[in-house]
A and B are shown apart, each in its own frame.
Chain A
Amino acid sequence: MNNNLLEIKKLKTYFFTAKGVVKAVDGVSFGLRQGENLCLVGETGCGKTATALSILRLIDSPPGRIVGGEIWYHGEDLLKCSTKRLRRIRGNRIAMIFQDPQFSLNPVFTVGDQIAEHIKLHLKLDPEQAMERSLYLME
């Protein structure tokens, strides 16, 4: 095992639609070291978001599926670990920031609430503290 924080090996994520199979990610491999910044650049539709979503297993399962590859993080293959373990990693160790806040945030809750929810979940603060923290973060 090399000293990569995150290691993607031959990741394959396909989408099975009524009109055929879309091979969004087809054998992608890369590694990321601690302290390193890595940018995936490409045209629209080349599979950047699909790759990122695959890391956290956030692919929408009826049409899409991760059909092959390995994703190593801290000595674990994220594609094979339990959902419970995955949930502890999501938002905590590996976090994702989505493109479009108009759609990626829940419209019926305030932004403060949603950030506080995140904080409460992983830092185990009580509601007031979490809200304070959330407001502080937004400044």
Chain B
Amino acid sequence: MKRGGLQGYIIRRLIYAVLIAFGVVTITFILLRVGPTSPADKYLANMSARTQDPAKVVAAIEARYGLDKPIYEQYFDYLVNMARGDWGWSFSTSLPVVKLIQRHWVYSFQLILLSMLFSATLGILIGLYSAVKQYTRTDYFATFFSFIGISIPNFWLGIMLILVFSVQLGWFKTYYDTSLPMFSLANLKALILPVITLGTGMMAGYTRYARSATLDNLRKDFVRTARAKGLPERVVIGKHVFRNAILPIITIIMFDLSGVVFGGAYLTEIIFGIPGLGRVSFNAIFANDYPVVVTITLIGAMVVLLTNLATDIIYTWLDPRIRYD
């Protein structure tokens, strides 16, 4: 009975995720077709301009991309192509889009991962501490700084950091060096400023959530019971309060992904010249290389979808109450 409930929940959640994925792809398709055809036209123009016989190329591309077929056939082909991994051709880099993604996703991944680790750990710890020591000076400082942190535009912060630490002090290079091996200290050093840029805003938000989640729980009765049992304070806070507070915190952190994190990462990559997917998409926009832009948009949505799914499933493990839904 217990297993059925949990398994049923996961299966339902998976089906839901697939439906959402469909919806996402459909909406992207609609946007593409509804929009003024200028990007597609420019793309066609670009492609055909590089050959001798533009008319022939245009016809071939139209046939290839099925632009002459009825809408529902186009939609079907589109879905099939997406599933098959044929994500188009990027003429600005002369690569299949898949290859392009393969080359660049690591950079985004390392930036986002490091920033999230940095901001989540610090944010939660500071928020927790701030809530436990409410009304003390530390609390006021932490609250004040988190307010500042969420108000600073992160792209400006990046530029200011570059100004102070790269231009004036010369401690870091102004531009990300891609020749560095991934798992080296030098790479880590080069990532310090970007991670601080992306992470500060996130951390400020997490501190606020952690503080309020902890505060909510500190007054609850079970905390009093725990104390009445004679448990040392650090266990009361570290085990009982924390376990309850961490649930909403994780939810918010994970679901914030689609807002602050990806948008911020996009900008951070552009400012620091990190060749991640954001930067690739940015370059593609100005080259009118629209298969790349479309694909990266979809990838963004899919990653959010997967993380939401994973979070929901992890939640069932963390919060035993959910299983019996």
Partners in one complex: yes
Task: State the A residues within 8 Å of B (CB).
Answer: 53, 56, 58, 60, 62, 87-92, 95-96, 98, 100, 103-110, 117-118, 121-122
When A103-B222, A104-B221, A104-B222 are in contact, do A109 and B229 touch as well, CB less than 8 Å?
no
- Please report the C-alpha to C-alpha distance between residue A58 and residue B224 in the assembled complex, in whole angstroms: 7
Decide if A106 touches B224 in the complex (CB within 8 Å): no
Please state if B232 and A87 are interface contacts (CB–CB under 8 Å): yes
A sample of 8 more A-B contacts (CB under 8 A), given A60-B219, A98-B228, is A56-B228, A58-B227, A87-B230, A91-B228, A95-B228, A106-B222, A108-B244, A121-B229
- Say yes or no for B100: interface residue by CB 8 A criterion: no
Residues of A within 8 A of B240 (CB): 106, 109
In the bound assembly, the distance between CA atoms of A56 and B230 in angstroms comes to: 10
Count of B residues near A, CB < 8 Å? Answer: 23
Residue B220, interface by CB 8 Å: yes
Asked if residues A103 and B230 are in contact (CB atoms below 8 Å), the reply is no
Closest partner residue, chain B, to A88 (CB atom)? B230
Asked if B231 CB lies within 8 Å of chain A CBs, one says: yes
Report B209-237 residues with CB < 8 Å from chain A CB.
219-222, 224-232
What is the CB-to-nearest-CB distance from A133 to chain B, in angstroms, rounded to a whole number?
15
Most buried by B among A89, A96, A100, A110: A96
List the A residue with the shortest CB-CB distance to B220. Answer: A103
Query: Is residue B320 within 8 Å, beta carbon to beta carbon, of the partner chain?
Result: yes
Residues of chain A contacted by B319 (CB below 8 angstroms) = 108
Nearest residue in A to B232 (C-beta to C-beta)?
A87
Identity of the chain A residue whose Cβ is nearest the Cβ of B223 in the assembled complex = A106
Q: Are A58 and B220 in contact (CB under 8 A)?
A: no
**Contact residues in B for A103 (Cβ distance below 8 Å):** 220-222
Question: With a CB–CB cut-off of 8 A, which chain A residues contact B321?
Answer: 107-108
Q: Which one of B135, B221, B229, B320 lies within 8 Å of A90 (CB-CB)?
A: B229
Report the minimum CB–CB distance from B32 to chain A (whole Å). 46
B243 at the interface (CB under 8 A from A): yes
15 contacts between A and B (CB under 8 A): A53-B224, A58-B224, A58-B228, A87-B231, A90-B227, A90-B228, A90-B230, A98-B225, A104-B225, A106-B240, A109-B243, A117-B231, A118-B229, A121-B229, A121-B231
Residues of A within 8 A of B229 (CB): 90-91, 117-118, 121
**Smallest Cβ-Cβ distance to B240: which chain A residue:** A106
A20 vs chain B, min Cβ distance (A) = 20
Q: Kindly list chain B residues whose C-beta atoms are within 8 Å of the C-beta of A122.
A: 230
Contact partner of B225 among A60, A105, A121, CB < 8 A?
A105
Q: CA–CA, A88 to B243, complex, Å?
A: 24
Q: List residues of chain B with CB within 8 A of the CB of A109.
A: 240, 243
Cα A88 to Cα B231 in complex, Å, equals 9
What is the chain B residue whose CB lies nearest that of A57? B227
Tell me how far the C-beta of A68 lies from the nearest C-beta in chain B, rounded to whole angstroms. Answer: 22
- The reply to whether A121 and B320 contact each other, CB–CB distance below 8 Å, is no
Q: Which 4 A-B pairs have the closest CB atoms?
A: A90-B230, A91-B230, A91-B229, A106-B222
* CB proximity to A under 8 Å, residues B184-232: 219-222, 224-232
Residue of A whose beta carbon sits closest to that of B219: A60
Cross-chain contact A110 with B320 (CB below 8 angstroms): yes
**Residue in contact with A100 in the complex, picked from B135, B221, B231, B318, CB distance below 8 Å:** B221
Closest to A92 in B: B230
Asked whether B230 lies within 8 Å of A104 as measured between CB atoms, the reply is no
Contact A108/B228 with A60-B219, A98-B221 known, Cβ cut-off 8 Å: no
A62 to B139, CA, bound (A): 15
